[in-house]
Structure 1
Amino acid sequence: MSTTQSERLRGLLEPLVAAKDLDLEEIEVSRAGRRRVLRVVVDSDDGVDLDECAELSRTISDKLDETDAMGEDEYQLEVTSPGAERPLTERRHYLRAVGRLARLQLHEGGELVARVLGVDDEGLDLEVPGVKGRKPTARRIAFTEIAKARVEIEFNRKDKKEEEA
């Protein structure tokens, strides 16, 4: 997608997404056969449910029909959330991941899987799980040390509601 089209779409869609108290995470235009696919990824601190995606999809579709932002060719619109193994690229993503396991690739090499305990302007407070019966250890990582980060899926993770009970 050209930068100009990307900027036009972001400028057009960001106010619609913000009006629903959501964050516009990504806009992607790709080809699927003869038709194009416009994928709009949204999120919020509380997550995004299917009804919110459907409602936003209708709003975006109406707005795109009013404009020529997608041109004359056919396209398919997809409005979705980032998914379970979402990449962590901005401070707000890390804030949403507090309490979750994350896989961090470090600039200096190496990889770390740890639970995010806290986030501030400079970096993360982590709990690194103990190995072979050892206790977990605390570790501090600055954002500048992180090359890539992604939430890890936990099949036996306790839900926040279970922990509060």
Structure 2
Amino acid sequence: MGKKEEISAAITPALSNLGFYLEDVVITTAGRRSMITVIVDGDTHLSLDQVTQVTKAIGEIIENIQSLGQTPFTLEVTSPGIDRPLTKPRHWRKNINRLVKVVLFDGKEIKGRVRDSTQISATIDEQAINLSDIKRATLEIEFKQVGK
């Protein structure tokens, strides 16, 4: 088992107990120091307090992973960025009423608002789409117009 997998396996139960999901673990090395970035998500958007709570919960767990040895590391806990693709049913549920751009495997592109979501499909505006038909889906950034 690699370091990424070992860290993932060690921290997933603690994250689940707090009501969060592990999206990814990224390990980068610069000289003798490593940066361990843990990307965490929840059913709602994470607050700064929740990120702090997660950092405290998993920091000690990671420090006790034997395979990391005495290598110094910096732990960074973050939520997925706006550019992360929507790949799981819970990503769709979390982003109801948000604007998305979807590319289907047949090449068709759809841009619209997520209106509903199930384990197998998402409704964008009035169109139901099977999640298995989606090649890539991302959130679109929206800016509010001042004075309108």
What's the C-alpha RMSD, in Å, of the aligned pairs? 1.9
**Structure 2 CA distance for aligned equivalents of residues 145 and 126 of structure 1:** 13
Q: Does 1:153 align with 2:141?
A: yes
**Structure 2 CA distance for aligned equivalents of residues 101 and 45 of structure 1:** 18
The 5 Å alignment of 1:57-136 reads: 57-127=55-125
CA contact (8 A) 2:32 2:71 kept: no
The CA deviation at 1:13 is: 0.5
2:11 aligns to what?
13
**Structure 2 CA distance for aligned equivalents of residues 45 and 59 of structure 1:** 18
2:52 aligns to what?
54
**Structure 2 CA distance for aligned equivalents of residues 7 and 16 of structure 1:** 15
- Which runs of 5 or more structure 2 residues have no equivalent in the other structure? none
Percentage of identical aligned residues: 30
The CA deviation at 1:46 is: 1.9
**Structure 1 CA distance for aligned equivalents of residues 132 and 64 of structure 2:** 43
CA deviation digits over 1:94-139, x for unaligned, max 9?
1111111111121111322111111123311111xxxxxxxxxx22
**Structure of larger gyration radius:** 1
**Structure 2 CA distance for aligned equivalents of residues 57 and 35 of structure 1:** 19
The CA deviation at 1:72 is: 2.5
Q: Which amino acid aligns with 2:109?
A: E
State the aligned residue count. Answer: 145
Q: Which amino acid aligns with 2:137?
A: A
**Structure 1 CA distance for aligned equivalents of residues 141 and 88 of structure 2:** 19
Q: Does 1:140 align with 2:140?
A: no
- Which runs of 5 or more structure 1 residues have no equivalent in the other structure? 128-137, 158-165
**Structure 2 CA distance for aligned equivalents of residues 81 and 69 of structure 1:** 26
The CA deviation at 1:147 is: 0.6
The CA deviation at 1:34 is: 4.1
